[in-house]
């Protein structure tokens, strides 16, 4: 089973030009560097190379290792790899995950290991993983890993390896590649400046004094409404929490995403943003890249980043895959950011705008998951058998290890909670809770 079945499993009709170039450029004796913008499909590109290099007859050996800078990116990569038609065994290691669970999973070595640098080293030092048979190393978002200070950790991991094929990916130009990698006849695929891969963005400015900045942000949110997906970026989590308090006081449904939250809260915030329960996400640069956040319509820089690279990555969350997006920049009258151009238009906020209405759907949590052998179809069938619940009342369903989350029409919530609680899905008695 080859690439076409893989694409079918991912509901993708065909490879884009960048992905086709990566596949055609691959040579087993040459390492590979892929430079391509955020949202262009780098994960699938390197997954196809991993698939090419797998020996499916070998079991009990880790053949491929993918290192990612953040746990969210690691989890996203895991989901893409799980769609391979050969159904490889995959284990994902990351900070915040249960160590005992990870150790138990590693007793039967996976085909593919995905993880963050610190957690990989933790298991290496305790001999929980053996990388002596590794054939493929992927360093995804390599520039971000260096930016976050993982140079020494990645070097420590690479020292354990027997010079496998190496593939680097980055959404920005690399000034230099660290010597510890010892790359072999490096091939490069660069789509950073290719037409159709750079996002189609419109830039609007909002000029306000520090005293009026929060008021201006609220007016813009009201003007745009909450039907479109909006990411609001701040430099610090304290600013995220401050804006969140304002929106909560005004009963504007939103979520927050930053490093100060527990992992399960961060994952739930992204899930609800994906399924349309919340269309406003307040975040730090943690959400600037590497996350599965499709179809973002607008980016708001409540606080502009200090570096141009961070600005580019934030904007890369919208206008993905040839779509269009709008970027709003909040500026003080005396602000001067060297990376900004002079041809941006000022957003008009002179009108009076109503507070946005709630989103049409909300998210419910069901206390059954993969460990109970429960599928999306099982959950959909269970809910549609309840009184007054139609197929169109159900949205995205995501099944986790111990629980599942389903987007449902707000009008259906009370009936689902009344009639569905203590019901059974595949013999498992379930509770249904608001999330």
pLDDT of residue 304: 93
Using left for φ > 0, alpha for ψ between -120 and 50, and beta otherwise, residue 319 falls in: left
pTM for this model (two decimals): 0.69
Cα–Cα distance measured from residue 400 to residue 147, given in angstroms and rounded to the nearest whole number = 31
Domains of the chain: 3-190 (3.40.50.300), 200-346 (3.40.50.300), 361-434 (3.30.70.330)
- Residues in contact with 390: Cβ distance below 8 Å, sequence separation at least 6, in sequence order: 384
**Per-residue tokens: 378:** 């099982």
Cα–Cα distance measured from residue 250 to residue 218, given in angstroms and rounded to the nearest whole number = 10
pLDDT of residue 199: 63
Average pLDDT, the chain: 89
pLDDT of residue 325: 81
* Residue scoring higher pLDDT (306 or 282): 282
**For residues 23-58, b (16+ Cβ closer than 10 Å) or e, as one string?**
beebeeeebbbbbbbbbbbbbbbbbbbbbebbeeee
Span 324-350, average pLDDT: 88
Band the pLDDT of 341: cuts 50, 70, 90: confident
CA distances 126 to 74, 85, 103, 113, 120, Å, are: 21, 32, 10, 16, 10
Answer yes or no: are the C-beta atoms of 230 and 302 closer than 8 Å. no
Say how many CA atoms lie within 13 Å of 28 toward its Cβ: 5
β-pair partners for 406: 364, 397
Cα–Cα distance measured from residue 313 to residue 237, given in angstroms and rounded to the nearest whole number = 18
**For residues 285-321, b (16+ Cβ closer than 10 Å) or e, as one string?**
bbbbbbbbbeebbbbbbbbbbeeebbbbbbbbbbbbe
pLDDT in tens, 21-60: 999 999 999 999 999 887 788 999 999 999 999 998 888 9
- Residues in contact with 83: Cβ distance below 8 Å, sequence separation at least 6, in sequence order: 6, 9, 10
Cα–Cα distance measured from residue 222 to residue 353, given in angstroms and rounded to the nearest whole number = 6
- Does the pLDDT of residue 98 top 50, yes or no? yes
The DSSP element (H or E) to which 45 belongs, if any, is helix 42-53
pLDDT in tens, 413-435: 999 999 999 999 998 999 999 98
**Per-residue tokens: 237:** 């989590």
- Does the pLDDT of residue 318 top 90, yes or no? no
Span 306-310, average pLDDT: 83
- Does the pLDDT of residue 84 top 50, yes or no? yes
pLDDT of residue 294: 61
pLDDT of residue 38: 76
Range list of β-strands (E), 376-430: 394-399, 404-409, 424-425, 428-429
pLDDT in tens, 366-418: 999 988 999 999 999 999 999 999 999 999 999 988 899 999 999 999 999 99
pLDDT in tens, 249-274: 999 999 999 888 888 898 899 899 98
């Amino acid at each position: 089973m080859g690439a076409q079945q893989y694409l079918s499993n991912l509901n993708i009709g065909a490879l884009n030009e960048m992905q086709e170039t990566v596949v055609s450029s691959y040579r087993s004796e040459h390492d590979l560097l892929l430079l391509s913008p955020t949202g262009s499909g780098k994960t699938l590109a390197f997954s196809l190379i991993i698939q090419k290099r797998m020996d499916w007859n070998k079991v009990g050996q880790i053949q491929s290792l993918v290192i990612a800078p953040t746990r969210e990116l690691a989890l996203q990569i895991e989901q893409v790899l799980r769609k391979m038609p050969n159904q490889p065994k995959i284990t994902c290691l990351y900070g915040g995950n249960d160590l005992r669970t990870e150790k138990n999973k590693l007793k039967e070595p996976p085909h593919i290991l995905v993880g963050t640098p610190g957690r990989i080293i933790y298991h290496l030092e305790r001999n929980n993983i053996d990388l002596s048979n590794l054939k493929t190393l992927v360093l995804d978002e390599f520039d971000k890993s260096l930016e976050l200070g993982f140079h020494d950790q990645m070097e420590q991991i690479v020292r354990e390896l027997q010079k496998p094929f190496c593939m680097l990916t980055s959404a920005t130009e690399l000034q230099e590649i660290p010597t510890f990698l010892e790359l072999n006849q490096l091939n490069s695929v660069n789509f950073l400046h290719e037409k159709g891969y750079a996002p189609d963005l419109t830039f609007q400015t909002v000029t306000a004094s520090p005293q009026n900045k929060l008021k201006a942000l609220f007016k813009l949110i009201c003007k745009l409404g909450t039907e479109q997906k909006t990411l609001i970026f701040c430099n610090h989590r304290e600013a995220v929490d401050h804006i969140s308090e304002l929106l909560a006081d005004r009963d504007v449904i939103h979520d927050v995403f930053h490093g100060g939250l527990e992992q399960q809260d961060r994952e739930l915030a992204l899930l609800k943003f994906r399924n349309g329960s919340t269309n406003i996400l307040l975040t730090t640069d943690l959400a600037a890249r590497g996350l599965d956040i499709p179809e973002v319509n607008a980016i708001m820089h409540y606080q502009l980043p200090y570096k141009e690279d961070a600005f580019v990555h934030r904007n890369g969350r919208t206008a993905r895959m040839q779509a269009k997006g709008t970027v709003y920049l909040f500026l003080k009258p005396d602000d001067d950011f060297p990376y900004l151009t002079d041809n941006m238009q000022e957003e008009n906020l002179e009108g009076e705008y109503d507070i946005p209405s709630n989103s049409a759907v909300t998210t419910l949590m069901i206390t059954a998951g993969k460990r109970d052998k429960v599928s999306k179809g099982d959950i959909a069938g269970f809910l549609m058998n309840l009184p007054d619940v139609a197929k169109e009342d159900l949205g995205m369903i995501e099944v986790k290890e111990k629980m599942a989350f389903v987007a449902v029409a707000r009008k259906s919530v009370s009936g689902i909670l009344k009639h569905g609680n203590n019901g059974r899905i595949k013999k498992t008695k379930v509770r249904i809770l608001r999330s």
